[in-house]
């Protein structure tokens, strides 16, 4: 089996890719063909299943475990994701996209300050519950080289919009930028023996309280 092939079974001879990696492909790749509805449903099911299996069994879990949970055959998994890195990338991008896309909805539903706080907690869950994915992304595999940039390109503008609104309303201090805050939250999500995501959420809640300290009308955030 090839070094980065999906683990669990040998690649079937009929497992020829039907299409490019789904529409969450890293920016810069050739745009994929539009998928048939049934193929898109299979991809969505596989990504949901892979997300759950990666969380419980790690990113090297057998392909059959993922396919069984998705309700498809292993050959379908290989057709859409010929290598394990393809599947890891697609899961990562889908989760990042969902987090980024939630920013305007949270701001509209809860207002600037509360919307920012809820988004930071959602981002915390993304980082704290995807440690297996993070380890794969930092494994040195060149297949993942573009993903840190994708992470920043999608999440930094989303957080910037929330920070701009919250500082303009006087609810958040003006002396922190979106990239600094992304890194600060990620640092608070580093593993602590005997603790899980709830601990990280408590630490981020304290960070959010700190963002409110000294807030009020003042110069715009740079």
Domains of the chain: 87-212 (1.10.357.10)
Q: Which pLDDT tens digit goes with each residue over 76-112?
A: 999 999 999 999 999 999 999 999 999 999 999 999 9
CB-based contact 155:126 (threshold 8 Å): no
Rounded percentage of the chain residues whose pLDDT exceeds 90 = 59
pLDDT at 33: 58
- Mean pLDDT, range 161-167, rounded to an integer: 96
Q: Which pLDDT tens digit goes with each residue over 42-55?
A: 999 999 999 999 88
Count Cβ atoms within 10 A of the Cβ of residue 185 and give its class: 0-12 exposed, 13-18 middle, 19 or more buried.
buried
The torsion angles phi and psi of 83, rounded to 5 degrees, stand at -120, 155
User: What is the reported pTM?
Assistant: 0.78
- Buried b / exposed e over 58-67, threshold 16 CB at 10 Å, is ebebebebbb
């Amino acid at each position: 089996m090839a070094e980065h092939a999906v683990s669990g079974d040998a690649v079937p001879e009929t497992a020829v890719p039907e299409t490019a990696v789904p529409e969450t492909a890293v920016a810069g790749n050739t745009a994929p063909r539009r998928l048939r509805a049934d193929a898109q449903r299979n991809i969505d099911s596989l990504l949901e299943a892979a997300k759950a299996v990666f969380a419980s069994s790690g990113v090297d879990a057998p392909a059959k475990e993922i396919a069984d949970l998705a309700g498809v055959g292993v050959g379908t998994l290989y057709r859409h994701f010929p290598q394990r890195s393809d599947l890891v990338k697609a899961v990562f991008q889908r989760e990042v996209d969902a987090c980024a896309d939630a920013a305007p909805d949270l701001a509209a539903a809860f207002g600037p300050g509360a919307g920012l706080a809820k988004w930071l907690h959602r981002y915390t869950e993304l980082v704290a519950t995807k440690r297996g994915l993070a380890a794969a992304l930092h494994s040195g595999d060149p297949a993942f080289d573009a993903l840190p940039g994708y992470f920043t390109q999608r999440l930094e503008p989303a957080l910037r919009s929330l920070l701009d609104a919250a500082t303009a309303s006087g609810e958040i201090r003006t002396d922190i930028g979106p990239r600094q805050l992304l890194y600060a939250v990620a640092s608070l999500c580093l593993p602590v023996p005997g603790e899980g995501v709830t601990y990280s959420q408590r630490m981020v809640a304290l960070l959010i309280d700190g963002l409110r300290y000294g807030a009020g009308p003042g110069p715009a955030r740079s």
